[in-house]
Amino acid sequence: MIKPHGSSVLNPLFVMDGGQRDILKKEAENLPSVVVNSAAAANAVMLGSGYFNPLSGYMNLEDALSVAEKMTTKDGLFWPVPVMNLLEDTSAIAGASRIALRDPNVEGNPVLAIQEVTAVEEMTIEQKKQMVQQIFGTDDPAHPGVATFMSHGNFVVSGPVQVLNFSYFETEFPETFRTAYQIRDEIKAAGWEIVVAFQTRNPMHRAHEELCRMAKEDVNADGILIHMLLGKLKGGDIPADVRDASIRKMVDVYFPPNTVLITGYGFDMLYAGPREAVLHAVFRQNCGCTHLIVGRDHAGCGSYYGPFDAQTIFDLQVPQGALEIEIYKADHTAWSKKLNKVVMMGKHPDHTKEDWVMLSGTKVREMLSNGESLPEEFSRPEVAEILGQYYRSLN
């Protein structure tokens, strides 16, 4: 199986031993504590799950600035996006060497992790703006990732963490949420050697379905990992439970048994385009996948990124050998009326606009909200029905 990023074995920061977890929970009752923001909570879940291997905790300001500028920590570890615990107010933890991090997304704010505090540093507004520009390629406050990052505090609290639970992800999505180490175990149990991963924050339509098939065939993969983001999204995106149901229905009806793993992970979407695509590659290498599908406008939003920027970053900015996972570069896919199937559009220059079945996301949402049927060339009827029920419930 492919090695994790940055180490020979995966080192998840979740405290596996139940007895040790109980001891730490008791300790946490007497520690200074703080309710972290949702991004920091998601970072803790990802550290605990092994997706952020080989990191040992939250980055200090020097590492965060270095990662934002050149995608490496000060010690030379390749990493595409800073992993930080940013606070607005540190008075509750002043002088503390160990603190309890409380979950903002679960009622009662239970302790999510214990952090050893190695430094508390204040980031200047100039440093914050510089970091935003480097990570997101824009400082536009209308960009959802920029807006979220700028809304966080300026105090950088760094240090190792011991993760005690997986927030709401494990309880709300028990059939879907999986840690990186659980996915590695499932891949090993299935006997898969070559595994292609598909990242999604949306339901899967015919084009996505066929893209997974194309990639599996082209790289001669043993299986497909459909890996959906379960955390916070921007307004208008479809909730995780609806996406989960539609994807499961599609796989159940249209894929052969034992060829697809449907899983999810606990992270908030960044909408950072190219940088987030690289982060997605790190996640999937840590899961044990050998290939990641990177398509048109991967992890983007609006018109902030070029359609294939998330592919070219791997050629232009990711040093050779920095990652072991390979990138499967996908063109935009759509239904061809000429060929009566889904194909990659770039491979068929003989087609005209009229030869494609193309629907905008806005048009799809409008049709579903009005109870209209989507063309079968665009969406499987079983998937369209699940989505239609959701949109009709909003009216």
Active site residues: 201-202
The Cα 137–Cα 132 span in angstroms is: 7
Q: Token pair for residue 104?
A: 């903002």
C-alpha torsion angle, residues 367, 369, 374, 378 (rounded to 10): 90
- Token pair 């087609």: residue: 351
291 forms beta bridges with 196, 326
Helices (H), 50-191: 61-70, 125-136, 144-151, 169-172, 180-190
- Coil/strand/helix, residue 40: helix
- Main-chain phi, psi angles of 35, to 5 degrees: -85, 115
- Retrieve residue 20's tokens: 């040790």
Closest by CA to 36, choosing from 108, 74, 95, 88, is: 88
β-partners of residue 292 are 197, 327
Collapsed DSSP state (helix, strand, coil) of residue 335: strand
CA distance 43 to 104: 13
